[in-house]
Amino acid sequence: MAEKKKGTRRANGESAIYFGADGRWHARVPMGYKDNGEPYRRHLTRKTRDDLVEEVKKLEKQRDAGSAQQPGKAWTVEKWLQHWVENIAKPTVSENTYDGYEVAVRVHLVPGVGKHRLDRLQPEHLESLYRRMQANGERKAGTAHQAHRTARTALGEAVRRGYAAKNAAALAKPPRMEEDESEVEPYSVEEVQCLLLEANKRRNSARWMLALALGLRQGETLGLRWSDVDLDNEYLKLRRNRLRPRYEHGCPEASPCGRKPGYCPGKVQVRRETKNTKSRAGRRAVPLPGPLVAMLRAHRETQKRERKAAGDLWTESDYVFTKPLGGPLSPNTDYHDWKRLLEDAGVRNGRLHDARHTAATVLMLLGVPARVIDQIMGWEPGTSASMRARYLHVPDAMLKDVARKIADAIWGTPETPAVDKNQDNAV
């Protein structure tokens, strides 16, 4: 920082202070460069030089710390969220994660708090939004939690870049999750057997056993190709995930169909079918039980007959599980098939992901070592302990068995009462 003098030259990055013709003190503080490469300087003015010097020092400190406001108009929450989700999040996260972010931004956050200035957003603004989302039971707490997590991530990036001094979402209290929204009850062995009997009557019956017996995720199962399956050596390799399709209209602009893109007669898919598994733990080999190997062999023969019967109508692919005329299964269709399977089997309603909890619990009951469970389920080493805590459920029968063992150890095995033979004869 230097006072401007006639005939002197300031060093690069040095602030200039001078007395203006208007009778006030002025300063030009270099702040960096604009997007177009031009230098950007902040202009300050005060009545006295001492007041101005103090403000210049504060601004230079903010600049050096990277927390000073950048050139241009202040961000609104709406402008920042839209910029963040399209230009920062979209290139770096998976398509499914982006979809969740985009819906939370467009449907909830922008209409709810978008008009606030980014640097003035308060935790109370977000807490009020969460309450409105849950008013009259219109939204579950899980929906508000998704909006909260999205806001926390987006605002954290804004703080990191110096556009806001605090992360309002990190300070806000998210709505309390109801127990029935987070509690999972895995299916019992008897329920799995009922599902197996019903699944054997349907196409792609092996698809459901991969979920119930091995805990494969939906995307992993639907993205499975025959080149990933080694039936002779009884294992399969998981390398990719099936993505939810996304469509755009294919009808002429002059005569639009008036339907949603997914129902357009000429719809065009704009998203790739699969993506590679992002984590090393997700790319794994999974052993196949003998009965499941037999099911997959039978399924492969059935698929060959379907291909032959369909002829030119068959859409060729290497997918293990396909539509009746070939081509990959849609996750949405797969979900509805699961719901019908539960209903027809007379088994209580549950999420498709509950099958994964079931498989993990069965592995625990069989005494499979934790490290092997982690590999089969595809859990990262650093998070495997917490994932086991979420997915491994202790059945009531196991708890009763533990209680019996404790009783035997402390109180001893109860003696069998002696039978009075004379009393029996008397009766």
Q: What is the pLDDT of residues 253-305, one digit of tens each?
A: 888 888 888 888 888 888 788 877 766 667 888 888 888 999 999 999 999 99
User: 167: which DSSP letter?
Assistant: -
**Predicted pLDDT of residue 341:** 94
> pLDDT grade, residue 396 (50/70/90)?
low
* Residues 26-64 pLDDT 10s: 999 988 776 677 788 889 999 999 999 999 998 888 778
**Predicted pLDDT of residue 186:** 82
First to last CA, the chain: 111
**Predicted pLDDT of residue 7:** 44
Q: Distance (Å, rounded) from C-alpha 231 to C-alpha 273?
A: 25
Tokens standing for residue 174: 């998210």
Let me know whether 103 and 212 are in one domain. Answer: no
* Tally of domains within the chain: 3
Please choose, from the candidates 153, 130, 150, 151, the residue with its C-alpha nearest in 3D space to the C-alpha of residue 140: 130
Beta-carbon-side half-sphere exposure of residue 96 (alpha carbons within 13 Å): 12
Let me know whether 214 and 311 are in one domain. Answer: yes
Please report whether residue 427 resides in a domain. no
Taken in order 385, 386, 389, 392, the sign of the CA dihedral is negative
CATH of the domain at 170: 1.10.150.130
Please report whether residue 401 resides in a domain. no
CATH of the domain at 373: 1.10.443.10
- The total number of residues shown for the chain amounts to 427
Percent of the chain topping pLDDT 70 = 80
Task: Give yes or no for residue 180 having a pLDDT over 50.
Answer: no
Q: What is the pTM of this model?
A: 0.62
Which residue range is the domain that position 142 belongs to? Answer: 77-182
Task: Give yes or no for residue 182 having a pLDDT over 50.
Answer: no
Please report whether residue 424 resides in a domain. no
